[in-house]
Structures are given as C-alpha cells and as structure tokens.
Amino acid sequence: MGILSLLLWTPALGSLLLAGLPGDKPHWVRTAAQGVAAVTLLLSLWLLGHYDPHNAALQLTEYVAVNPTSGSAYSLGVDGLSMPLLVLCTLLTSVALLASASVDNQAKAYHLCLLLLEFGMLGVLLAQDWVLFYIFWEVTLFPLFFLISRWGGKRRHTASLSFVFYTLTGSVFLLLSFLALSQYHLAANGSLMTALGHSAKAMPVQQQIWVLLGFLLGFGIKVPIFPAHGWLPSAYIQAPVAVSILIAGVLLKMAAYGLLRVLPILPDAARILQPLLVLLALIGMLYGSLLAWRQSHLKAMTAYASISQMGMVLLGISGLNQAGADSALLQMVAHSLTVAALLLLGEQLYQRTHNRHSQDYGNLVQAMPRWSALMAFSLFAAMGIPGTLGFVAEVQTLTAFYQQAGWLWLAVALSLLITAAYLIRTLSLLFISTQPDRATWADLRPAEQLAAGVLVATLLALGLQPNGLLDLSASTTAHWQQAFREP
C-alpha cells in the first residue's frame, strides 16, 4: 500500500475501530478518534516532507485499473494544488475533534461521522480519476447530513435538508458535465483529472461553454458563488462547531479546488467565460461583506464573511494566470485557518455565556485575557493586516487582478474596507465597550488553548514566512497557466 492510500484509508479504518468500541464510553471514543486524526495528520506531514515542490507533475501516484472498458481506475496522486489542502484538511480535522470534547450525546456515532467525513475530503483531494473524484465528492454528503441533523442547533433539520438539496442539485450538474466531457476522452477517462495541460480539443467551443457552465454550477454551490449560497448561513449557524470548522475550512475549498482542476481542461471556454467569473467574484465579495457588516451574531457574521472571502478566491482563479492561482491557494489556506479560529473561539465564548451576539459583551480582556489575545489576533488576521497570511494573499490577489481588469480592483478595495469596518466594530464591542463585570467567566482551559493556539500559531508562522507555501505550489501553478495561453 502506497503512502497516499495509507493516508486516505486511515480515517476509514479508524471509523471501523470506533464502531467496535462500547458506546457508553465516550472518553474512549474521543481518545481513539483523536488518535486516528493525529496519525492522519502525521502522515500528511510526512508526505509534505517528501514532496518535491520543483516538480510540476503528479507525484507518488498510485494506479489500479478498475474498469478498462470505461477507463475508470483507482488513481491517486498529489501535486502543488492538492498538497497544501491535504495538510489543511488533516490539521483542521484534528482541531475539530479537539473542539468536540463536550459532545457526549451519541459520541460514538458523532466521531465516526467526523472520521468518515475526513475520508471523503481526503479522497476528493487525492483522486485523479473523475469517477473516483465524484464518488468521494458524494461520500462527504452523508456524514455531513447526519452531523448537522442530529447534533445541530434548534433549526438543524431545516439546515440539513437545505444543505442536501443544494448539494444534490450541484451534484447533478457535475455528473452531467463529467459525462459530457468524457465522451471526448474515451481513451483516457481514468486520467481526466490528472493531466492539467490536456484540453477537450475535440469538443466544439460552444459545447465547452455549456460543460464549463455545468461545472460552475456544480462547484459554485459549494464555493459558494452568489446566488447559490442559501445553504451556507444556516449550515454554519446550526451545525456543531467542529462541523462548521470543516465546512468552512475544507468543504468550501474542495469546490474551489475542483474549479482549479477543470478550468485547464476547457481553456477556450474559460477564456470566454472569464468576465462572468470576475463578475460573480466581485458580487460575492461585496454582497458577503455587506451582509456580514449587518450581523451582530458572531456565527452569522463569520458565515457571510466566508462568502466574501470565497469571492476573493474565485477572483484569483478567474485571473487564469499563475499569480491568480497562487493567490487563490493562499486565500484558501488563510481563510480556512482564520475562520476556524474565529468559529472555535466564538464557540468557547458561547459555552460560557450562551450568547452569540457581540453587542452583549465588552471589556472581555479583564475576564478572559488568553481568549481575548487569541480572538484579537484572529480578527486582525481576518482583516489581512501585515504580518498575517491574509495580508500576503490579498496583495497577491490585487496584483493578479490588476493585471487583468485594471480599475475594477477598486471594487475589491471597497469590499476589503467594508470587511475591515465590521471586524473593527466587532473588536470594539468585544473588548472596548463598557459592560457589567465579567469576572465570573473562566478563561480558556489548556485543551481549549491548544486547539485555538495551533491555528493562531500556524497563521502567524505562514504570515511571516509565506514563501514556503508559495514555493510549494509554484511549479504546478506555472504549469496550470500554460493551458490558457492562446494557441
């Protein structure tokens, strides 16, 4: 068994281990699940250490033909697009499990679903066969549905059904687009997701456009792209915090990753639809930031802020150049770490106060100094101040976008200003405004501090030394942009 298969199947085997544990021993279940997630994280770090960033080709590939007639295969591989997201996935799963320490209701089923979700997410990032990719894409649906519907908030059933409806709608468009594209790649179905430089040259441009629109709808629902974002706020708010972290940190990035994979396959259509991609990105950025500005509910604010930030990711992708792809990957990593920290710290505050509205707080620095320090840094990171990864990602995006669209970068600047405005307001409400004494609220416990501290430390380290992350993907993104050059 290769390292990629070992990484992929560890969470699945871990879920089988959990299934054999007694359900009335939640501590055993939590410890076992955290151990499995830790092993998966270590495997991804080992993979990172053995990955050659100077090689643009797929590495550590594994290939077993499943159906030679149709061309489908068990095909795994990793490159500069998937490598940072793999480490991100395993890291956030470990953090999510640490954040689940208070889950005692049906703890065995809960942790089993989390490990199955990690299995599906890793499969999407590792799969290099379109059938395998689609199977893993669907695998993530089932554990997420149960996690939201059984362990979510008061309106969890509505949120879970909305999530399923949107996801299945997107899956139909994905399947139709994959099937249409495969008709022109009958000899290489199994490598449809592997060769970035291959385009559907046999497909007429008009058909390319329709196929790419199908992909845009399918992936756009999960990004999410306006106006297909209706499922996201309710899922964020109603899901348990661990699930919200994985939705924001990995599920949304899976969709952006999917767009990065399919655009080079349809380069003519991508160039034609580039203005549409830019328009959707700008609308998402402005719409999300304006709605986030109106929120006092911390989880709702984070949800709409995610729509805005994923608009920034789409903007980078729509540049169809290396700078844009690099900025999209930076934005994905920065947003995942930042929003995970905000969600986690917000939940830690809620567990002490049972209140998620920022205007009901104030002067938290005195009562909870450790929590306040971590939360303040996370809010500054979300603003993209210098020294954080968000700043590097925003500068990279503005640079890439200016090369393509000139004065339209002013719309991006407006979105960033609105974002800074509502985040500064949140800082003021939490830490500066005068409220009654909060001295009875306990500060972070060691386990809580560890979970949030890992995210903040990673944000700070990558913000001060972003070159390592950029170099990790540079060769792949340089190869990626070649598909869009005019013949």
Look up the pTM and report it: 0.92
Give the HSE-up count for residue 260: Cα atoms under 13 Å, Cβ half-sphere: 34
Task: Report the alpha-carbon distance of residue 307 to residue 92 in Å, rounded.
Answer: 19
Give residue-wise pLDDT tens across range 473-482: 999 999 888 8
Task: Report the alpha-carbon distance of residue 374 to residue 456 in Å, rounded.
Answer: 7
Give residue-wise pLDDT tens across range 172-221: 999 998 888 777 654 444 444 544 335 456 678 888 899 999 999 999 99
Q: State whether 260 and 277 are in the same domain.
A: no
Give residue-wise pLDDT tens across range 289-301: 999 998 888 888 9
Give residue-wise pLDDT tens across range 238-268: 899 999 999 999 999 999 999 999 998 888 8
Q: State whether 91 and 77 are in the same domain.
A: yes
* Per-residue pLDDT band at 433 (split at 50, 70, 90): low
pLDDT(281) > 90: yes
Q: What integer pLDDT is reported at residue 387 of this predicted model?
A: 85
Instruction: Find the domain containing 292 and state its range.
Output: 271-487
Amino acid at site 20: G
Average pLDDT, the chain: 87
Q: What integer pLDDT is reported at residue 404 of this predicted model?
A: 63
User: Is residue 205 within 8 Å of residue 273, measured between CB atoms?
Assistant: no
Cα–Cα distances in angstroms (integers) from residue 350 to residues 110, 344, 428, 446, in the given order: 21, 10, 18, 17
Q: What is the CA radius of gyration of the chain?
A: 21
Task: Report the alpha-carbon distance of residue 242 to residue 147 in Å, rounded.
Answer: 10
* Per-residue pLDDT band at 288 (split at 50, 70, 90): very high
Give residue-wise pLDDT tens across range 332-387: 999 999 999 999 998 888 888 877 777 777 777 777 889 889 999 999 999 888 88
Q: State whether 404 and 487 are in the same domain.
A: yes
Q: What integer pLDDT is reported at residue 73 of this predicted model?
A: 80
Q: What integer pLDDT is reported at residue 307 of this predicted model?
A: 92
Residue 363 vs residue 141, higher pLDDT: 141
pLDDT(112) > 80: yes
Q: State whether 301 and 437 are in the same domain.
A: yes
Task: Report the alpha-carbon distance of residue 178 to residue 130 in Å, rounded.
Answer: 7
Q: What integer pLDDT is reported at residue 435 of this predicted model?
A: 61
Q: What integer pLDDT is reported at residue 186 of this predicted model?
A: 45
Task: Report the alpha-carbon distance of residue 219 to residue 81 in Å, rounded.
Answer: 16
User: Is residue 274 within 8 Å of residue 314, measured between CB atoms?
Assistant: no
Q: What integer pLDDT is reported at residue 172 of this predicted model?
A: 94
Q: Is 297 helix (H, G, I), strand (E, B) or coil?
A: strand
User: Is residue 270 within 8 Å of residue 320, measured between CB atoms?
Assistant: yes
Q: State whether 249 and 306 are in the same domain.
A: no
Domain count, the chain: 2
Q: State whether 277 and 163 are in the same domain.
A: no
Q: State whether 186 and 304 are in the same domain.
A: no
* Per-residue pLDDT band at 411 (split at 50, 70, 90): confident
CA 22 and chain centroid, separation: 33
Q: What integer pLDDT is reported at residue 462 of this predicted model?
A: 92
* Per-residue pLDDT band at 147 (split at 50, 70, 90): very high
Q: State whether 142 and 276 are in the same domain.
A: no
Task: Report the alpha-carbon distance of residue 241 to residue 487 in Å, rounded.
Answer: 48
Q: What integer pLDDT is reported at residue 317 of this predicted model?
A: 92
Using DSSP bridges, classify how beta strands 59-67 and 72-78 pair: parallel, antiparallel or unpaired: antiparallel
Q: Which of 220, 249, 265 is the last residue of a domain?
A: 265
Give residue-wise pLDDT tens across range 2-37: 899 999 999 999 999 998 888 778 888 899 999 999
Q: What integer pLDDT is reported at residue 439 of this predicted model?
A: 54
Per the DSSP assignment, residues forming a β-bridge with 63 are 75
Q: What integer pLDDT is reported at residue 44 of this predicted model?
A: 96
Percent of the chain scored above 90 by pLDDT?
50
Q: State whether 415 and 278 are in the same domain.
A: yes
Q: Which of 223, 238, 265 is the last residue of a domain?
A: 265
Q: State whether 255 and 387 are in the same domain.
A: no
Which tokens in the block code for residue 262? 């399919």
Q: What integer pLDDT is reported at residue 188 of this predicted model?
A: 47
What's the rounded mean pLDDT across residues 72-95?
93
pLDDT(406) > 90: no
Residue 42 vs residue 186, higher pLDDT: 42
Question: Where is average pLDDT lowest: 215-224, 433-442, 466-475?
Answer: 433-442
What's the rounded mean pLDDT across residues 97-113?
88
Q: Which of 230, 265, 300 is the last residue of a domain?
A: 265
Q: State whether 244 and 283 are in the same domain.
A: no
Task: Report the alpha-carbon distance of residue 31 to residue 334 in Å, rounded.
Answer: 29
Q: State whether 51 and 153 are in the same domain.
A: yes
Nearest CA among 250, 261, 262, 245 for reference residue 222: 250
